[in-house]
Amino acid sequence: MYIETTYSALDYPGCMSLDIFFYGCDLRCKYCHNPELLQYHNITNLETLFKMIDENHDFFDAIVFTGGESLLHNQTILKIIKYTKKYNLRYKLDTNGLHPRRLRTIIKYLDYVALDVKAPLDKYYKITNRVPAYTCNKILETMRIIQKHGVFLECRTTYTSRLLSPEDVGEIMKSITCDQYTLQQYRNDVVYDVSIINAPSPNPYELEQILRKYNKDKKYTTYTKTSQLGVKKIL
Ligand code: SF4
């Protein structure tokens, strides 16, 4: 079927979620934690997934579309949303932000988008050797679409001092607008590029210091969560 699933109590705040992992991604982030999902596979049959959802829908409140890059499968996501609407679920999308046109086809059904902002928008070469054309414009367009539709937007950056500096985080924070910004700890147990497998995982205190330093305009208030630190907009 080329779809993986798991249940999670962490991936949709306040909800138990069914996480659906899609195969394929146009980036090759050095720290990618799911390298086995990077090769694209077409999805031809959703019957097994629908049967599993029918049998277990009482167990979760939300579906999280993730991967890989989930928007490479926007038409499949649309089919899943239409099939599961009867269960009154919430829908969250994880994306690398490089597919605004595909996002438009499903944005009206989404409640939450987690958008990876991997580096300052003109410095993606720090994270991946494969930088698609117009990365900066596409990510900004993705942000605009999400905000225009009033969908909750979390921007996320995975941090290791081997690839990014605290100043890079400051640049990212200046260039985005979102409801929540999360700095994620780099984990070095499984990565795409083995040359960084020994790169240090930052401790939460280090991440907190970086966020405090660049949160000077008080646009955000800090919050903490397992292995992540973030700043959340004061509404
Ligand atoms: S971290 Fe995400 S965007 Fe980067 S290669 Fe892995 S799946 Fe793709």
For 10, counting Cβ atoms within 10 Å of its Cβ (0-12 exposed, 13-18 middle, 19+ buried), the class is middle
Q: What residues are in contact with ligand 1 under a 6 Å CB criterion?
A: 25, 27-29, 32, 34, 38, 67-69, 96, 116
Give the count of beta carbons closer than 10 Å to the beta carbon of residue 219: 12
Average pLDDT over residues 142-159: 96
Q: How many residues does the chain have?
A: 235
Structural domain for 78, as ranges: 3-233
Q: CA angle 205-210-216, nearest 5°?
A: 125
pLDDT given for residue 201 in this prediction: 86
pLDDT given for residue 233 in this prediction: 62
pLDDT given for residue 235 in this prediction: 39
Decide if 1 contacts 50 (C-beta within 8 A): no
Average pLDDT over residues 184-192: 88
CA of 33 to the centre of ligand 1 (A): 8
Report the residue among 20, 69, 164, 192 best suited for mutation to probe ligand 1: largest number of ligand atoms under 8 A from its CB: 69
Task: Convert the pLDDT of each residue in 29-41 to its tens digit.
Answer: 999 999 999 999 9
Decide if 49 contacts 80 (C-beta within 8 A): yes
What CATH number did the domain enclosing 50 receive?
Answer: 3.20.20.70
Report the residue among 19, 31, 32 best suited for mutation to probe ligand 1: largest number of ligand atoms under 8 A from its CB: 32
Element (H, E) at 74: helix 74-84
User: Residue 203: which pLDDT band, with cuts at 50, 70 and 90?
Assistant: confident
Q: How many domains does the chain contain in total?
A: 1
Mean pLDDT of the residues in the chain:
92
Average pLDDT over residues 119-148: 95
Torsion sign (Cα): 220, 213, 164, 230: negative
Task: Convert the pLDDT of each residue in 140-149 to its tens digit.
Answer: 999 999 999 9
Ligand 1: residue whose CA is nearest its atom 1: 32
Task: Convert the pLDDT of each residue in 10-57 to its tens digit.
Answer: 999 999 999 999 999 999 999 999 999 999 999 989 999 999 999 999
Query: HSE on the CB side for 94, CA within 13 Å?
Result: 16
Report the residue among 4, 23, 27, 94 best suited for mutation to probe ligand 1: largest number of ligand atoms under 8 A from its CB: 27
